[in-house]
Chains A and B, each alone.
Chain A
Amino acid sequence: MKAARPPRWYADPARLGLAALAVSAAAFFLLPLYVMAITSLKPMEEIRLGHLFSWPTQLTLDAWHAAWISACTGVACDGVRGGFWNSVSIVLPSTLIAITLGALNGYALAYWRARGAALLFGLLMIGAFIPVQVLMFPLVRMLGPLHLVGSLAGIVLVHVIFSMPIMTLIFRNHFAALPRELFLAARLDGAGFLRIFVLLMLPLSVPMLVVAAIMQATGVWNDYILGLVFAGREHLPMTVQLNNLVNTTTGTKLYNVDMAATLLTSLVPLAIYVISGRWFVRGIAAGAVRG
C-alpha cells in the first residue's frame, strides 16, 4: 500500500502558522539593525520628519564620514577611528595572552599534579561570578603604583585577569576530554611539561583555540567598563568613545552620526560572528558548562 504523501507545507495550517511566527520573530530581531542602518544613511532633515522605518529618500554617506573622521567624542573631534585602532591594539594582545595562559592552565590542571591547584581553580571559578565593580577599586590601587593604570599594558593585563576563569575552564574541560593515554605515552618517551604542551597538546587543540579566540576577541572588543577605568585617555577603546560621542555631545544631536558610529563599532564583532558562524555557537556551549 502506498503511504499517504505528507501535505505540502503551505497546505498545513500548523506549519504555516509556525512559518509566519518565525518570519515575524526574525523581523523583530532584524528591525533594530535595519533602523540603525537606514538612520545612518539619512540626512538630518529627513530624520526630523519622524519616519523611523521608511527607506531614505536621499542616501548619503556623510554621517559615516563624520562618525569616522570628525565627530566629537568628548574634548577631541576626530571621530571614532582613534578608538578603532585603540581597540585593535587592546584586543590582539589580550586575546593572544589570554588563550595562551588559559590553555597552559587547563593543561596543567588536567594532567599535572600541583599542590593546591584544585583549591585555586575553585577560587577562580567563584571569581567568575563576582561583578567587576567589586574588584575595581582594589585593582586600581594595586596597579597604580606599578604605573599600569591608564596604559596599554594595564588594560591588557586587566582583560587577561578577568577572562582567566572562563579561559581556564574551557581548556581544562577540553584537555580532560582527550584520551589520557596520549599524555602517558609522551611521558614514557621522556617528554617534559612544555614539550608535551607545545608539540602534542596545542596541535590537538586548534579548534578549541579558535573558539576561545573568537570568544575572547568579541568579549574584549565589546568591553566598556574596564576600558573606561584602566585604558587611560591615550588608549580609550571604541566602545567608550562611542558612548562619549552619543551621550555627551553638546548642541544638536546628530542621530545619523550616532547610528553610523554605533554600526562602525559593531562591525568587528558582527564580522567575527558572521564569519565564524558555528564556531561562535561552540564558544557559547563551551562557556556554558561552568559550575
Chain B
Amino acid sequence: MNKPAASPAAARRAPNPAHLALLPMALTALVVYLGSMLWSLRISMSSSRSLPMQDFVGLAQYQRLFANERWLHSLHNLALYTPLFIAASLVVGFLLAVLVDRQARAGGLLRAVFLYPYALSFIATGLIWQWLLNPELGIQQAVHGWGFAGFRFDWLVDQDRVIYTLVIATVWQGAGLVMAILLAGLRAIDADILRAARLDGVPAWRIHVSIVIPMLGFSFATAALLLLTAAVKLYDAVIAMTQGGPGTASEVPAKFIMDHLFGRANIALASAGATIMVLTAVALLAPLLYARRRALRASR
C-alpha cells in the first residue's frame, strides 16, 4: 500500500507535505477513535454519575450492568433481532437480486424500486412502519374493513412480538442494499458456467442453489458485514417506531447507553455498556471478516 515516494531525497529536505495532509486523519484516528475508546474504558471503571470521576472501582460497574434488568433485556432483544435481521435481509436481498437479474427489460426499474427504501432515514422508516402497523387505523383495521374481522396484526403493541416489527421495517429498508451488492456479484459470474449448466439440463433453481450461491460467498459476507454493523448500532429506528416500548419490550443496548449518558446521568454505567458493545461487535465481526477474506481468496 505504501509504495516508496518518487524522490526520497526531496522528501527528506522539506517537511513532508503528506504528513501535513494526513494530520486531520491522524488526529481523528488517535484522539477521537482510540482516545475516546480508552477514555470510555476508563470511565467504566470509575464511580462517575453525571460528571467523570477519577476514582477506580474495578469491574463494579460491569457487575451492576449485568444485574440490570433493562440491560439484560436490551441484550436479549439485540440477540434476537440481529440474526433475524441479517438472515431475512440476505434471503430477501438474494431473491430480489435474482428477480432483477432475470428481468431483462424491467430490471433497471425493479432495482430502483427495491433500493429506494435504502435512501430513506431510519427515522422515516420507523415512522412509516409505525403508521402501517398502528393497530387502530393501520393494516389490521384495513383488513377488518375487508370483512376479516378475526384478523390480528397488533405486534407493535405486543410485548412479545414488537421486536419482529423492527425486523420487518429494517429489512424493508435494507434488503435493497443486499440486492445491490449481490447483483454486482451475480454480474461478475462467468456466463459460460451458467450456460453450460443450462445446456446440461440443470433446472434453474438448482443452478442457483448449487452454483450461484456458493460463487457469491464474498458478496454475501460483505453484505452480512454491513448488516451486522448496522444491527449493533440499531437506535434511530427504535426511537422512531417504538421508543423502546411497549414498556421496555423493544429496548436495545445502543438506546440503553444513550439513555444513561444523557437522560439518567449515569455515565459510568453507560460506558460499561459501551465497552460491552464494542467487545460484542469485535467478537461478531472478526470471524465474519476472516470468512470474507477466505471467500475472496477462494474466488481468485
Query: Interface on A for B, CB 8 Å cutoff?
Result: 14, 18-19, 21-22, 25-26, 29-30, 32-33, 35-36, 39, 47-48, 50-53, 101, 104-105, 107-118, 120-121, 123-124, 126-127, 129-139, 141-142, 161, 164, 168, 172, 176, 180, 183-184, 187-188, 192-194, 218, 221-225, 229, 239, 242-243, 246-247, 255, 258-259, 262, 265-266, 269-270, 272-274, 277, 280-281, 284-285, 288-291
Contact = CB atoms under 8 A, between A and B. Distances in A.
Interface of B: 1-8, 11, 16-19, 21-22, 24-26, 28-37, 39-40, 43, 52, 95-96, 99-100, 102-103, 106, 110-117, 119-124, 127-132, 134, 136-139, 141-142, 144-145, 172, 176-177, 180-181, 184, 204, 222-223, 225-226, 229, 232-233, 235-236, 239-240, 243, 254, 257-258, 261-262, 267, 270-271, 274-275, 277-278, 281-282, 285, 289, 292-293
A272 B233 CA distance: 25
Contacts of A194: 17
A187 B7 contact: yes
B26 A131 contact: no
A184 B6 contact: yes
Nearest to A54: B142
Given A36-B131, A139-B36, A291-B225, A242 B21 contact: no
Contacts of B285: 129
Determine the main DSSP class of B at the interface with A. Answer: helix
- Which 9 A-B residue pairings sit nearest by Cβ, starting from the closest? A112-B18, A222-B121, A193-B17, A127-B33, A187-B6, A50-B141, A138-B36, A273-B119, A52-B142
A284 B223 CA distance: 10
A130 B37 contact: yes
Contact of A222 (B122, B278, B289): B122
B5 A124 contact: no
Nearest to A246: B127
Given A105-B22, A137-B270, A270-B116, A118 B2 contact: yes
Given A139-B36, A273-B116, A281 B261 contact: no
Contacts of A172: 1
20 contacts: A18-B99, A22-B100, A105-B21, A133-B258, A133-B261, A138-B35, A141-B39, A142-B31, A164-B24, A193-B18, A218-B119, A225-B235, A239-B121, A247-B240, A262-B124, A266-B120, A266-B124, A269-B120, A273-B115, A288-B226
